[in-house]
Amino acid sequence: MDETQHDLPAEERHVPVLLATSVELLVPALQEPGSVYVDATLGMAGHATAVLHAAPHARLVGIDRDPEALALARTRLDREGVGDRATLVHATYDEIPEVLEELGLPGAHGVMMDLGLSSFQIDTTDRGFSYSVDAPLDMRMDTASDGPTAADLLRDLPEAEIARILHDLGDERFAKRIAHRIVEQRQTAPLTRSGELVELLDRAIPGASKASGGHPAKRTFQALRIAVNEELEILASAIESALDCLHVGGRIVVESYHSGEDRLVKTAFARRTRSSAPPGLPVELEEHKPSFAPVVRGALKADETERGSNSRAASVRLRALTRTRSAERAH
* Domains of the chain in sequence order: 3-120+231-323 (3.40.50.150), 143-228 (1.10.150.170)
Q: Averaged in consecutive runs of 10 residues, what is the pLDDT profile of the chain (331 residues)?
A: 44 77 98 97 95 98 92 95 98 96 98 78 63 89 83 97 95 95 96 95 83 77 92 93 97 94 95 78 69 96 93 92 76 41
Pairing status of strand 59-64 against strand 246-256: unpaired
Q: Are 37 and 59 in contact (CB under 8 A)?
A: yes
Half-sphere exposure of 280 (CA within 13 A, CB side): 0
Residues making up the annotated binding site for S-adenosyl-L-methionine are 45-47, 64, 93, 114, 121
Q: What is the pLDDT of residue 17?
A: 93
Separation CA 196–CA 136 (nearest Å): 10
Q: What is the pLDDT of residue 13?
A: 56
Residues making up the annotated binding site are 45-47, 64, 93, 114, 121
Residue 226 CA to its chain's centroid (Å): 10
Number of H helices, E strands in the chain: 14, 7
Q: What is the pLDDT of residue 288?
A: 64
Q: What SS3 class is residue 136?
A: strand
Separation CA 198–CA 196 (nearest Å): 5
* Strands annotated E in 115-226: none
Q: What share of the chain is helix, strand, coil (3-state, %, to 5)?
A: 50, 15, 35
The residues, any chain, with a CB within 8 Å of residue 40's CB and separated by 6 or more, are 63, 93, 96, 111, 112, 113, 238, 242
Quick one: three-class SS letters along 7-66? HCCHHHHCCCCCHHHHHHHHHHHHCCCCCEEEECCCCCCHHHHHHHHHCCCCEEEEEECC
| pTM score | 0.86
Q: Are 271 and 244 in contact (CB under 8 A)?
A: no
Q: Are 24 and 45 in contact (CB under 8 A)?
A: no
Q: What is the pLDDT of residue 147?
A: 87
